[in-house]
Structure 1
Amino acid sequence: MPASAHHFDDLPVAVAVVNDDGLLRDVNQTLAGLRGREAAQLRGQQVGVLLSRASTLLYHSYIFPLLKMSGQVDEVSIQLQGDKGQRIDALLSARREVAHDMGVVRCVFMRLKERGRLEYQLLTAKRAADEAPGLLFQLRRMRGEPARFTYVTDALRRLFKVAPAQALEDADVVWRLIHPDDAPQLRETLDASARDLSPWRCECRAVIDQWPIWLELHATPSQEPDGAVVWNGYIADITERKDMELGLREKASAERANQAKSEFMAHMSHELRTPLNGILGFAQLLQLQDAGNLRADQRSKLGYIEAAGHSLLRLINEVLEISRIEAGHMAVEMAPLPLDEVIQSALLMAEPLAARRAVSLSWVGGRGAMVQADRHRLGQVLLNLLSNAIKYGPERGRVEVQVAQGAGEAVELHVQDQGPGLSPAQQAQLFQPFNRLGAEHGQVEGVGLGLVITRGLIELMGGQLHVRSRPGEGACFVVRLMPATVPMPDNGDPGLPLSPDHQEAQAAAGSGVRRRVLYVEDNPINALLMQSLFEGSTAFELQVLDSGAKALAALRDGAWPDALLLDMHLADTDGVSLLQAIRRLPTWAQQPVVAVSADAMPDEIRRALDAGFDDYWTKPLDVTRIQPALHRLLSARGASGGTMSV
């Protein structure tokens, strides 16, 4: 016998030492006697020789993996295999140790007598019930008597702050904690369950230490021979679930509100842009076509009309941008970007405004920085900050732009003005929509949306916007951006959909070829504006139809214009549906078709372009850009002048 055996041979419990391969390194005589063999005969055999088949599987699939993970198991119910094949119930406690890179499991088996086994099972059941997350209970009610608890688990203390003995003596110590508004429902559902012997289901609130919680009650009733109804069930705290459900409902409500807001803003934008198209368009036409017939004061008043129209359009665009940012519908295209290019472009665009106020613009330092940003949106941000610095600073003042290294790896873009500065109270209100901090009483135009949009755009790009200012010392707006190390390829500025190209327009006009354009528009003012624009044109001949049905009929009858302009909201159809019908005509499978609409929402523009439109022109249109844009579109398609057969 090995030296280790005598250490546990005289113990009244069965002991075994098992290696990680499941081989018995040693057993004591008590364990060998249960198996009806000598200890020496068991050494070197698999541990399964001691266990029943089920317990062998349990050892390899559960006990040993648990030992490898935690190092110890206590009182696991297991079956030993006796000398005559009988099953011997036992409790296994084991510990695994590792020495010299070898794992060894030391096992102790304690036999269970029948009474001990039952007591253990009852103890285990009670422990499981007491440790369950909810309260398990049994409730009994005789007809005409109040219900009383005959069993409750210790979870009653956690849930209701009541001792089980108190509830067993008087059930009202629990029911009195139910919220007064929910107590009637609890009684009604209990009465209905007793009457029909249907499951008792109820959600109600309880007030524990003056703090409300939500409870869920489930119980199954049965009727006893003496007529009493007994419910076995549980009560669980569902406050967290209720809070989550409330959060989801609030989120859904907020999403519906955002959707309604977006739809309203889109509708408002469309309804305002439509008349603005006439106001701005005719103002531009009068200045272009009849400038020689107007007195100086009339030209000045036309300028006022156009300036007022552009101010209203700017306000519409700003409100839409804020709406899209708040709703999470504003998209940015992030890419590595040379910051120098954005600064140079913004300074160039801000120069006319600076010249009117004799303000000097200077770039005082910092070159060569690369940032991760959206080129267009970052340019919009910087131009807005420069415009504010020029407008709110003094005439003949100075505005400085500087690039600096920020905290960590951030790149900081500073815009410093010489304005009146901001107090701490003003800085706290700086980014509130429509709050101009008293500037509304001055001469500077604006509605207080520019900085709100600016901060929203910067945050969409993963950056931050801060202000440093003291009264009388001007303000420094700091844009913090993430750096980029890969230069962005210069693909050139794609420009606006209606960018002018006067040389191309003049060349086309001098060629003697008049191209046919069909405009489908049911708004008389917009139709008249387009007709007025094309009057006297030597490059284009325009026809206007006021419905989709008339346009399809004309095309089917052989009227083949070179280009189509389709309003997106016609009385008898929408632009996408009309385009699909037109594209089914063989000759119009590839001809250029442009969407013309007062709907400026990005989703609508994307939907139209995805549907197959070649371009999307947003009302109010810049009348100076329409004919050059048509020339460019037709040239890109290789279209040649044709004839319209009627």
Structure 2
Amino acid sequence: MIRLRSLRHKLLGVIAMVILPAMFVAIGTVVAYDLHIYQQTIRDDMRTQAELLGHMSAPALTFDDQRLANENLSLLRLRPRVNAGAIYTPRGELFARYVAPEQPPVIPARVGTAGFEYQAGKMLLFQPIYDNGELVGTVYLRADYEMLDRFLDYLLIGVLAALLALFIAWLVMRRLNDVITRPILNVAHVAREVLATGDVSRRAERLGDDEVAELADAFNKMLSDIESRKRELENSNREIAREAEQRALAQQEVMRLNAELEQRVHERTMQLELANGELAMAMEEAKSANQAKSAFLSSMSHELRTPLNAILGFAQILTSDKLPSTLQQKKEFANHILKSGRHLLALINEILDLAKIESGAVALSLEPVALADILQECETMMAPLAGQRGIRMLFPMAGEWNVTADRTRLKQILLNLLSNAIKYNRDGGAVVVDCSASSPEMLRITVQDTGMGLKPEQLRMLFQPFNRLGQEAGVEEGTGIGLVVTKRLVELMGGTIGVSSSPGAGSMFWIELKTTRPVPSALDVLAALPPSAMAAREPGAITVLYVEDNPANLKLVQEIISFRPELRLLSAPDGQLGLEMARVHLPDLILMDINLPGIGGVEALRLLRADPRTAHIPVVALTANAMPRDVERGIAAGFFRYLIKPINIDEFTEAINSTISWLAERAGAEAERGQ
């Protein structure tokens, strides 16, 4: 009986392993190529139909002619594979439709993503319709997609071909059995008997006169040699076994020592590589820092020397006796000196701003800011500059946009972007400002111009000092630092800044800031105040000093205090002036913002406490720093109360009343001690 693992079955398996992979590769290649051509043909055909249908339907969309659009769609009946189609308006609304007989009447109500989709054996295509470069609508087509059926047919053909190949291989093996396998099986049979009985005197029969017969002769000779040496091996077997055991023990010890040595070498190598990597990284960082510093100093030196050259040059002409000039020339030279001096001053101011930002010395007052007011101020300030070159400025309609930002710095950011949009625009161009919600928590402000635009390599170098928007030096006046300062300020306010540009089509800069609740208005204050606050006004005896740099916040507190007849409000826009007014007027109560220009609120409190004239005045913090650690630091610094913006009317009124009560109690206690 021939076992399953016989040579004949192995040979059959080898033939099958050679035939089947080659056959599967060939069939798979043909199937893949055919399916690819089938898919590409369908896609090309649908794209051609969509383009033709879009070209024919463009007039219908332009003149709102649904009848013509439906007639164009009805031509799809000539394409049996296409079973549905539709045309949409530029706004994505369904304009006309077609469904082949006996097909599901489902048509998408809105435009989907442009391109191909596959759903339930159908291929879907959404393709925009352009007329003279303008989007006038979208074409939708749905066609049968029989890819799976074709694949299953090919799979069945491949299985049948494989079975046929195996059957032919089996027929060939039956013919080759007596020629190849029987002599080999004879040698194998003798070998199994020798292994089973240990009788090396047996010999294999020689069948034929080929390589298998030579194998039988070699096998018989090997048995003879084994028989002669068997006795010698048995005699020396014990000695060899003993030596092998000793060598095994020695080898194990050597392997153990080698493993320990390799582990130590590996550990030392890793330590050395780590140290070398850290050293290389530190050297690279130092090299990059030195290169950046050298580049910045070189650019700054060049930018400073340029206006100085004009100032010193024209000044030498004016003071020289050898170079006489007329009065008109003197005025012209003086104007050049004045213009260069202003440019030099602007450069120095922006360098100082950049240095303050990089060193962390800029204090921002982050609070709710009404964006409509800021945009109105920017439009008023930039309108004359745009009018000089006939540039139209388009601002969004007034809306309820409110962001968390520093009012002064946000205005500086927008003015810088608008100034660049005008400076690098073409004469008679336009600047478009827009606001939109990029996410539920973020508001995007965009400033778009119609200038020459920027190349990709210019965009990569945009936010670098002295870059001047990638323009050639001398074409447009500017320091090239404004965008760097703008980027740092936006990031300090928790926002992001970006730009997109196309050469010849203009540029669009955008910033994103966190949205917040609207700033309370005077009408909100009136509605929130209790009826008792509307009592007749009497001469006040209590003076309140409010130190605040934000005009909107100052106006809000003025409206609240105006309904308290016993209170008199003084205000200061910064910490230094607030200190001076406190020392001169000696108010009963001070309301203090934390983030103030110049001297901050905490430092101002320390100076008030150090002065005997103002040390007794209670100071209430009124700030947008709302983190728990900020409140703890404020109370620890010595603030009488700590109020958080946006102002809660009831909490604000309660803080004022409790402070007045405390002042009254202190005055009574002092009067009793005086008696």
Decide which structure has greater strand share: 1
Same fold (TM over 0.5): no
Which structure has more relative contact order (CA 8 Å, sep 6+)? It is 1
TM-score (norm 1): 0.35
Larger radius of gyration: 2
Pick the structure with more helix per residue. Answer: 2
